[in-house]
Structure 1
Amino acid sequence: MTHPHPHAPLVESDRVAGTLYTDPALFEREMDRIFHTTWVWVAHESEIAKAGDFKMAWVGRRPVIVSRDRRGGINVLLNRCRHRGASVCETPKGNGNGFTCPYHAWSYGLDGSLRGIPYPEGYEDVVEKKDLPLQRLKVASYAGMVFASFSEDIEPLEDFLGGARLWIDRFMKQGAGYPIKVQGEHRFRFNGNWKIQLENTTDWYHFPIVHRSWMSSVDAETASMLSIMTDESAVTHALGNGHSVSISVAEHADLDVDDGTEKLQDRFSHIVEELSKDMPPEQVRRIVRSLHGAGFNLNLFPNVAMSMSFFRVLRPVSVTETEIRHVALGLDGGPEIVNRERLRIHEHFQGPFGFGSPDDAEAWNRVQRGVAGGVDMPILVNRGLGREKPNDLGQPTSHATDETGMREAYDMWNRMMTDDN
């Protein structure tokens, strides 16, 4: 499928071509020019906390293994045997001494080094094990977030994250003095292009419409917290490099800041009572204020969002299919009653029987179906253009219901897809 107007740009300041969701050739180019060249999120360090821990992940459509070796180093390895190409790991997560190919039993260490070849006689003077490790990706971490890239000469991760680093740091403050840990995840697929979901995380315009059922299922205090349509403190900042942040609860944008006037929600009174047995009041208050997570959604281009109290990870499967992981977070070493409550909150919205994820997925499916019926019509990302202004840091800023974050993501998409350097 080709763009109906071959001389028209695919991305403009206020719109993008419908073929961005439907063109298989564009999708293939995205895999090469975006997912296989930039920093892609693969894990949180809590998922590989101990030596020998590993998990499977994806960088675009390439399967990888994230492992913690015996020296404590983090490795990201292409899940492909150097002999005849079979995957060497099909266990989603675990702990072990290495990885063995099921086809001919070539075995590799946690760092990807080739350790053993059965019946080595046929390889004498043919193969040196040191020359055939599993392919290693470049790896870097920031605040426990592990990223990998197939590009060896990529810019430092901190430079790529840029203005998003402040918000990553603030997001982690919901640990209330404890480190953040992954508690589990819900994984599903929808029949739509990956960029439909990429747009969604900083799209508060849809929230009171798509999530009416969720709004009616929670207590009035929680619903009021996220009623932001006319809240002037609810803003979105474009952070550069495709990243953006949308602030929905300004008083929770930095959880270290508390003027003491905010009333703790009645729904958490049993937690206050339990924690107060062993903790000082200020620590109890700090933990309970953090139960809903941070007061913002942070979108990191191209594949992970840090959304209030969970990670949302996207994986492009095909031009019309995307896998989503909703990763629940808890306090590592924190009170069990708090981690249980955070799981219940997560399940209520993000879980398979929750009020949020099914509604989102249906909306994303319908976008794909509708666009396929009219690919010659543009996708509009123009909401708020007339009121978008730079903040003190020079970051384009507008209301949280505006499409500032989408424009930032598509600007980065355009740069990566058209840069021939």
Structure 2
Amino acid sequence: MDSSLYIKGATVVLPTGSTRCDVVVENGRITGLPRSYANLRELPELNAEGMTVLPGFIDIHTHGAANVDVNAADEEGLRTIGRFFASQGVTGWLCSVLTDTPEQTLWCMEQAKRVIEGGPYDGAALLGIHLEGPCLSSEYKGAMPEHLLMHTASIDLFREYQDASGGHVRYTTLAPEIPGVEELIPELNALGITCAIGHSGAGYDQSMACVRAGAASATHLGNAMRLFHQHDPAIWGVAIESDLYVEAICDGRHLHPGSVRLYLKSKGWDRVVAITDSIMAAGLPDGNYKLGVNDVVVEDGDAKLASTGVRAGSTLTLAQALHNIVKFADTDVEHAVRLMTKNPATLIGFATKGQIACGYDADLTIVDADLEVARTIVGGRTVYER
């Protein structure tokens, strides 16, 4: 597939705001943003008149879609998820591996490695792995299998996972109260792993200590954690007060729209990351599904554990999240799209993704006047066209 093209006639969302310009893509990178027609190299042209070009969406926390669960996904299964995500404007994603047996987790590492290192295909690029666990609280485990949680943090297991993945574990979620987690964070950072705190009953002091140790984010803030109390603000208070990024599931179920507005008002538009936390049911009708080892029932689009009724991930897509953020915050697409482009790219350290600028990867999402995804481009190659 050719990775060079000339996109003309569109409104383009740049770091400075929306403007009418063309986008020049050569060998998968953005090389020009001319304000008037300037296809000097006679590149293949794409007429995007009436459309808006956005940076490609990045989902750093998802457990599956299209009837594929990340924990059970082989190489082709991960690509199936990526193809569905491409239809939702996603150009890059991290596969979130739920706490599982070491053997199954190592198998997941190998499958992800093959896809990441296998080169471009007709879907959203798998950019790395998110380990959600195993150092999580039993009390706030959510859908995590309690018997597989680690009750003392160990760098050895994380090193084993990182080695098996070829160095592609980019993100992990840790509970501050697990013994050894505070000391573990700098070691994980040294392995190239961004650390988030969550699935936790930790108080303010423990949580803040982990921030000082190098934690950079709070996993789906407000869900699967001890809530704010005036005498001990816990993770929620630390996340709001500090410079942590905060993940937000903007489906209207996990967070009230007012909570989303609170996050944006307190953190600013550069510290909130829109995630889906989606499961294999994303893109599919209500029914019975899996999340790791768990049985999940989806009713009216709401995913819950069959055994307890506890909410278990979502059926959200980032395409829908964009609509929701615009509505919840009464804002424009320029602001809303930051939550799923620049912010996750900065958090995880993808230095050439998340913005439309010269020298950046040509990962682009083209939407129509109703913000519906019309085309998704990864590295200059169209991977989805409506």
Q: Please, what TM-score do these two structures have when normalized by structure 1?
A: 0.24
Larger radius of gyration: 1
Higher helix share: 1
Q: Please, what TM-score do these two structures have when normalized by structure 2?
A: 0.25
